[in-house]
Structure 1
Amino acid sequence: MPTVAPFDIEGHVIGAHFLGDIPFFATAAGEIRRLDNGEKVTELHQGMLTCVRDPFHASLLTGGEDGKVMRILADGSAVQVAEAPRKWINVVAGGPQGAVAYAHGKASHVVLRDGTTKVFPEERTVEGLAFASKGLRIAAARYNGVSLHWVNTNAPASDLEWKGAHTGVTFSPDGRFLVTTMQENALHGWKLEGKPGDPRHMRMTGYPAKVKSFSWSPKGKWLATSGAPAAIVWPFSAKDGPMGKAPLELGTRANVLATCVSFHPAEEVLAIGFIDGMVLGVRVGDGKEALLRRPGKGAITAMSWSSNGKLLAFGSEAGDCGVIDIAA
């Protein structure tokens, strides 16, 4: 049976991540709390707006109401990457070669390893950022689509247009697809291969609520999302991705919304967090479910696995957090 080590924090938890085997929890108040031979606290921001794990570097990246972008290392030490006084930084992303992107207003900023900053103006406010897995290429989600920039060239941006407000963005692990979350209850996607200037569109609709969480399976065959009374899991293994295919619905619960999803790092097993604080583990192949945590005080807002896939950290909007040992 999985065992849960509970850990309570005051306030809303916006991030739960592992660096090595050490769990880190980020609070909206601006603190990072890590469980490393006891609880350790790092004061970071006057109000934290985002905390993500850098997929290319063993660190966390945060942005705050104080205009600062910070990198946090496994020992809890913090380094300031950038600062935009009097701006709110609610979008950050980690990229190859030590690059860090952040946005405020109608511009994306990429800080390179040597400290050089590249600025990419947009016609609309940037709502989401993501780096491609290969090459220093960044996607900026905005109103009416996504702009793609090669960071180290002066080439003009490639624009992927689709009407509506695009609030988040992610590349598939193999770089063949780009998917956005939208202000409406939908995803939109583009197949990036094919003729230049002719990307194929993918509409993924039918959600009863906004999609606020998504996670790719280890080899990129599946994209799991929140926003329904189950995890909605789209197939991406075919050459045209989910076009013409129905998604899987995993962990279905009547009228209880899934609020957070996180794929296991090595297996096609999905952790699903719900609005009532419950956490389920579901195997994609046969839909078999395992209860990982009973309902708690608040909606699950953050989850992630340790690199070995034996531990799952979670946090909620009410501050009840914990680490689930699934190997126990």
Structure 2
Amino acid sequence: MPTVAPIDLDDHCLATAFLGEVPAFALASGQVVRLDHGTQRHELHDGLLAATTTWDNQSLITGGEDGKVMRLGADGTQTVLREPARKWVSAVAAGPQGAVAFTEGRVATVMLADGTQQRSFEEARTIEGLAFAPKGMRLAMARYNGVSLAFVNGNAPAVDFEWKGAHNQVMFHPDGRFLVTAMQENALHGWKLDGKPGSEQRHMRMTGYPAKVKSLSWSNRGKWLASSGAPSAIVWPFSGKDGPMGKAPKELGQRADTMVTCVACHPVEDLVAIGFGDGMVLAVRIADSKEALLRRPGKGPITAMTWNKPGRLLAFGSQAGDCGVVDIAG
């Protein structure tokens, strides 16, 4: 049976992470809590807005209402990447070779690992989401009416992927073949990226959600894309060359009385952790929909979940601050 080690942090948990093997919980107040031989608290921001883990899983990158961009290492080392500024940092992304990107309003800035080279990109409307491509130094910027895809090095103009509406999250398929956004309306949108240069863009519309999609997660090889925004986890097939076009999604962990608020695919197995509006967490196998209860309902909706690299531990956090770590091996 899975065992749960709870921790009550009394604040909205925006993000969870494993920094090395150390669980970390990023809170809306600007504090990040590490469970490393006791509870270690780090006051990083005056109001936290965004957090992401670096590609090597050794650091957490955060942005906040104070305009700062911070790095918190697995050993608790705090580094200021960008000093306080007037504009909020509303999105952050970690990239290859230690690169970091952050947004403030209509401008996205890329910092390389040594902090010396910066490149800024300006859009006509506010940039809501950021993602680095899995290969090559390319940055996707989600905005109103689509996504801009820019090369960080060189002066080539950004490539625009247009679709009407507000796009507030963006992510690449793990092998770089697709680009997917979550929209302000209750939908996802995607584009194929492996078409010939100059050919017509191929779109993927993923609609029918009763609520806005706030959580997305790729399965370990990108075969599936799990999403929140419905009474079950909506899991789209991406194994074919055309992704989910013309295919129906799977619906996993359906419950009649509450919505799925967070999803996190296992790093090794084809299964997904599903967090609900009442605080319950289920693990569901994608192939046959077999369910295992990981956590009973709690105080508030699950807002963040992360597996550790081997996939034995799951860190979770809720809107009410009741957080914890599940050991699925008991």
TM-score (norm 2): 0.98
Q: Distance in 2 between matches of 1:233 and 1:56?
A: 27
Q: Distance in 1 between matches of 2:112 and 2:203?
A: 32
2:51 alignment counterpart: 51
Q: Distance in 1 between matches of 2:284 and 2:114?
A: 43
Asked if the contact 1:193/1:199 (under 8 Å) is kept, the reply is: no
Q: Distance in 2 between matches of 1:113 and 1:7?
A: 33
1:78 alignment counterpart: 78
2:220 alignment counterpart: 218
1:163 alignment counterpart: 164
Residue 80 of structure 1: how far off its partner (Å):
1.2
Q: Distance in 2 between matches of 1:114 and 1:313?
A: 30
Residue aligned with 1:81, SS:
strand
Asked if the contact 1:56/1:96 (under 8 Å) is kept, the reply is: no
1:228 alignment counterpart: 230
Residue aligned with 2:97, SS:
helix
2:306 alignment counterpart: 304
1:138 alignment counterpart: 139
| Unmatched 5+ stretches in structure 1 | none
Q: Distance in 2 between matches of 1:171 and 1:293?
A: 30
Q: Distance in 2 between matches of 1:191 and 1:62?
A: 30
Supply the AA of the counterpart residue of 1:133.
P
1:118 alignment counterpart: 119
Asked if the contact 1:229/1:254 (under 8 Å) is kept, the reply is: yes
In the TM superposition, 1:59-74 aligns within 5 A as 59-74=59-74
2:189 alignment counterpart: 188
Supply the AA of the counterpart residue of 1:79.
T
Q: Distance in 2 between matches of 1:206 and 1:83?
A: 42
Asked if the contact 2:55/2:98 (under 8 Å) is kept, the reply is: no
Asked if the contact 1:56/1:95 (under 8 Å) is kept, the reply is: no
1:281 alignment counterpart: 283
2:320 alignment counterpart: 318
Deviations 1:139-196 (A, max 9, x none): 0000000000000010001000000000000000000000000000000000011122
1:246 alignment counterpart: 248
Q: Distance in 2 between matches of 1:98 and 1:194?
A: 29
Q: Distance in 1 between matches of 2:320 and 2:205?
A: 34
Q: Distance in 2 between matches of 1:165 and 1:270?
A: 27
Asked if the contact 2:28/2:49 (under 8 Å) is kept, the reply is: yes
- Structure 1 vs Structure 2: percent identity of aligned residues? 66
The answer to whether 1:42 aligns with 2:70 is no
Deviations 1:17-76 (A, max 9, x none): 111221001111111111111111111001111111122452111001110011111011
| Unmatched 5+ stretches in structure 2 | none
Residue 83 of structure 1: how far off its partner (Å):
3.3
Deviations 1:264-300 (A, max 9, x none): 1111110000000000000011100000000000000
Residue 78 of structure 1: how far off its partner (Å):
1.2
Q: How many residues align?
A: 328
Q: Distance in 2 between matches of 1:109 and 1:323?
A: 34
Residue aligned with 1:148, SS:
strand
Residue aligned with 1:87, SS:
coil
Residue aligned with 1:97, SS:
helix
Deviations 1:228-282 (A, max 9, x none): 0000000000000000000000000013100000011111110000000000000
Supply the AA of the counterpart residue of 1:279.
V
Q: Distance in 1 between matches of 2:161 and 2:127?
A: 14
Supply the AA of the counterpart residue of 1:26.
A
- Among residues 268, 273, 285, which one is paired with 2:270 in the alignment? 268
Residue aligned with 2:282, SS:
strand
Deviations 1:85-115 (A, max 9, x none): 1111110000001110001111110011232
Backbone CA RMSD of aligned residues: 0.9
Q: Cα gap change, 1:84/1:46 in structure 2, threshold over 3 Å: closer, same or farther?
A: closer
1:30 alignment counterpart: 30
TM-score (norm 1): 0.98
1:90 alignment counterpart: 90
Q: Distance in 1 between matches of 2:26 and 2:95?
A: 21
Supply the AA of the counterpart residue of 1:305.
W
